[in-house]
Amino acid sequence: MGSPTALIVGGKISPAATAIAQERGLALVSCDPYPSADELIAQATACDAKALIIRMGKVPAEALRGIPGLRIIAKHGVGVDGIDLDAAAAHDIPVVVAGGANAQSVAEQALALLLSVARSTAYLDRRLRSGHWDKATYAGTELTGKSIGLIGLGAIGRAFLALLVPFGMTVRVYDPYISADLLPSGAEAVDSVDALLEASDIVSLHCPLTPENRGLIGAAALKRMKSGAILINTARGELIDEAALVDALKDGTIGGAGLDTFSKEPTSADHPLWAFDNVVGSPHVGANTLEARVRVGISCVEQIADYLESGRLNPRNHVNAAMARV
């Protein structure tokens, strides 16, 4: 009997993770990013995939129905909104994430976006390259002493707050799933998103996407934000109503936005957000550091190998644990 195969959707994993897969007797095959359901079925069938490692792509219910030999899905990261968790559970397929493995990298990207918006580094770089010298007219915004509000406080949010300590910010957190005694020292819990928006100079999103919070930051929410406030999103693009954000930026309702994720990915060159100099974007690369890729890839491989060998699952990383047998 040959080695079980894991299909990597969207490129390859790190050499270190590949080496561990070889040690654990797990064969790896890659396919292109963002395959359709039919393409995913064809690729998985061709290699008789027992596992999927999802880097860039979705796993809808129809794909799960078409891959009868599939036993486990590992997300190369933590965002699983593109995977039909209920359908996976119905097929007795656990879905696991690389919990905490990319938290530091995403947190650092959030800080990079925040600093770039506050100090207009992307805009000034473009100006400088086109022959302008804006020393006499430009003034940025200091972060020190400002008030920041985090919506969601998982591993990434906590790593982000640790990076912000030198700035001496007032920190408020909205996360109904954690008690106030579990907040970092000095952070204040608020009981509503509205209260957080109204009090914050900076709002940063660190929550998973759910049916309940899709479009959470819409027109009403943006109007509640402080004049000149900065919005940061390294979570999921669908948390923001992008049309409402465009209107808020056009009206000057908020001061700017730093965005690593978008409602439709990849974005287009003519996206209306690119008309604003106070918007800084990156192509969903918050987790894409050499160090995080090693940690995330190893986590995926180890969890797949553990499950295929003995049925072991890490309950902290098992995101559809409502399966009947768990």
Which residues are part of the catalytic machinery?
236, 265, 284
Query: Distance between CA 107 and CA 173 in Å, rounded?
Result: 16
Angle between helix axes 103-119 and 290-310 (nearest 10 degrees) is 150
| 3-class secondary structure per residue, the chain | CCCCEEEEECCCCCHHHHHHHHHCCCEEEEECCCCCHHHHHHHHHHCCEEEEEECCCCECHHHHHCCCCCCEEEECCCCCCCECHHHHHHCCCCEEECCCCCHHHHHHHHHHHHHHHHHCHHHHHHHHHCCCCCCCCCCCCCCCCCEEEEECCCHHHHHHHHHHHHHCCEEEEECCCCCHHHCCCCCEECCCHHHHHHHCCEEEECCCCCCCCCCCECHHHHHHCCCCCEEEECCCHHHECHHHHHHHHHHCCCCEEEECCCCCCCCCCCCHHHHCCCEEECCCCCCCCHHHHHHHHHHHHHHHHHHHHHCCCCCCCECCCCCCCC
* CB proximity list for 140: less than 8 A, separation 6 or greater: 118, 119, 120
